[in-house]
Amino acid sequence: MTWTMYPTIYLDAISFTRDSSEMNGEGTMASICLTVFILLLLICFCQSDDQLTSARPLSPGDLLISKNGVFALGFFSPVGSNESMYVGIWFHGIPEHNRTIVWVANRDNPTTTASAPTLAINNSSDLVLSDSNGQTLWRTQNIVDAHDSGAFLVLLDTGNLVLQLPNSTVIWQSFDHPTNTILPGMEFLLIHRARAAAHLISWRSPDDPSTGDFSFGLDPVSNLQLIIWNGDKIYCRISVWNGVLGGMYPSSPSSIVYQTIVNKRDEFYLEIVVSGGSPYSQIMLDHTGTMKLMTWDSNSSSWIVISARPEGSYGLYDSCGPNGYCDFTGAAPACYCLEGFEAVGLNSSRGCRRTEPLQCSKGSHFVALPGMRVPDKFVRLQNRTFEQCAAECSRNCLCTAYAYANLSSAMADHSRCLIWTGELVDTWKSSNYGEVLYLRLANPPVKTKTNLVKIVLPVIACLLLPICVAPVCIYKFKAGKWRKEEIQKELMLGYLGTSNELGDKNVEFPFVSFDNIVAATENFSDCHMLGRGGFGKVYKGMLKGGKEVAVKRLSQGSGQGIDEFRNEVVLLVKLQHRNLVRLLGCCIHEEEKLLIYEYLPNKSLDAFLFDNSRKHVLDWPTRFKIVKGVARGLLYLHQDSRLTIIHRDLKAGNILLDTEMSPKISDFGMARIFGGNQQLANTTRVVGT
């Protein structure tokens, strides 16, 4: 905000009786003095853009802009609201339509334009937001008694709004009272000896800055882990401090964002630092409870999310149940049981139980599980070495696990010995960070010595009967199994024999039994689901022999019928090309229709094109490689194969990518075959996307 107030000067008429030379000399001197006087007045009455004094209030339409134009302070109304008005700070260097608010003063007490609000410094050196009726809507709680001290307000290029005295003593600053954002240069207070720790609190909605449901801060029970809460319930644990908590994220070719915890005089702060010095980065807790580390991309004029927690549903608190853990090291997150445990239900997402219960009298041992984010609900033991920590857990029958970290000089107590005395809740496995979790397991049952004859004779007797009977049973079992598979195969061929488009009765279909598919997908567990569409759901599976596959399960409500199903099977059996997805098998079982493909870990092209956090992978060489691969696949379909195929449903979602980002065309349910001399064909319905 710029104020330039010019003084009004009145010059009375004066009669001079002196001679002209004296008058000219004195007139020149008077002009010089008058000019200097006016300049001094102008300096006194001018206000710099980044400062606010007690004599000049801030009104709607005025702006306080930081020295280099990075941030602005002013009144704003959220999108879609013409009534509510707030005082806030936003990035001034970002286009107006992308305005990003980083701090709000009166978030739970909005004002209106009609009430003529002002932001001013009062006689007690408090910063006060009030309306024309004198009602206080918001005010600072100063940490220094500064009555009539000449305090002034300044907006820094870091985004910090500082109320200070002429001697630079800080009375109050917005960085000590964040709303939902952490900025570079801000010291987000985690542990303090005299003050309460800071918290981020989300907005109610994208257009409502009032207090939302989600909050972020340090766990007050343990003082060791960062947590996102939904109300008073834990929504997501960010991490447990092991002395080296931090992250490094490339935000541009010339800039790196560092996220770390620092210790200053036994007071701990969370900070972000940008190597290039650009202030256009932030950590923001949005209205959905997602903690996002973002940086501004001037080329696309948008915010790029370079890290987010939680990462999907698997990042939520206790997503895999007691004694289970979420594995983030694979192509897709999945729930598994800890070593020595088994799933409670059909899969491990409901938790796990011990295969051998712990009993103090029968002994136990510990196994080391590296790369783990340790569970919640731990107890910290002070001043322990690693050996002492292990011994404490070993001699306590209730102890189920322990973990140890050396915090170096980060705290007065350099050790961090954690033990667990119950179920292990909210455990992760990650390739990027983690530590060793020592898990307690029961010793295997001890074999007792007995008379050799008493053992051998019953064993021989028991073995003779099965040896005689086993061949007959095995033959009958295999014969029944073969017959069952033959019946399923005949049923499938009966279904597929009705196609009127291909007319090929002699195609050999690759058949996979329904039982094998159920086993490969753990009974179509949700934790193995890769995606869904109008046709149904796609699951990741593991066939016998360890081969990873993708199983397409057509729903009964799908628009893809027997003709399209057979179409896709026959075409993919006949067509072989490196840019066409490979069909490994198919199955029809009662109302179920299933297709088994090779598994492509990078999924579809649209997952990269329309995801701001992943599209940077598609540099121009990669895009050109994908275009060439798709073109080769289409050329094969149109010219080089022994059948002329028109795909009729080519889109980014049907272009799959392997580990080397090579494209493969998929979904041939809508494809049509043309004869050698055929130029056109008719269709009886709308197809394509």
Residues flagged as binding site for ATP: 552
Residues 459 and 419: their CA atoms lie apart, in Å, by: 45
Closest listed residue to residue 223, CA positions, set 201, 247, 193, 252 = 193
Looking at the DSSP bridge assignments, the partners of residue 308 are: 292
Catalytic residues: 649
Residue 235: how many CA atoms within 13 Å on its side-chain side? 20
CB atoms within 10 A of CB 68: 12
Closest listed residue to residue 6, CA positions, set 34, 30, 38 = 38
Closest listed residue to residue 100, CA positions, set 89, 116, 86 = 89
Residues 543 and 96: their CA atoms lie apart, in Å, by: 54
Residue 492: how many CA atoms within 13 Å on its side-chain side? 27
Q: Which residue in the block uniquely carries the two structure tokens 């109320």?
A: 163
Residues 105 and 75: their CA atoms lie apart, in Å, by: 10
Rg of the chain, C-alpha, whole Å: 36
Task: Show the tokens assigned to 312.
Answer: 């999907």
Torsion of CA 509, 514, 520, 525, to 10 degrees: 130
Helix (H) or strand (E) holding 284: strand 281-285
Helix (H) or strand (E) holding 480: helix 452-496
Helix (H) or strand (E) holding 429: strand 427-429
Residues 227 and 230: their CA atoms lie apart, in Å, by: 10
Residues 55 and 79: their CA atoms lie apart, in Å, by: 32
Helices (H) and strands (E) in the chain, counts: 7, 44
Residue 61: how many CA atoms within 13 Å on its side-chain side? 3
C-alpha dist (Å) from residue 292 to 91, 278, 389, 408, 562:
17, 18, 36, 29, 46
Bind-site residues: 552
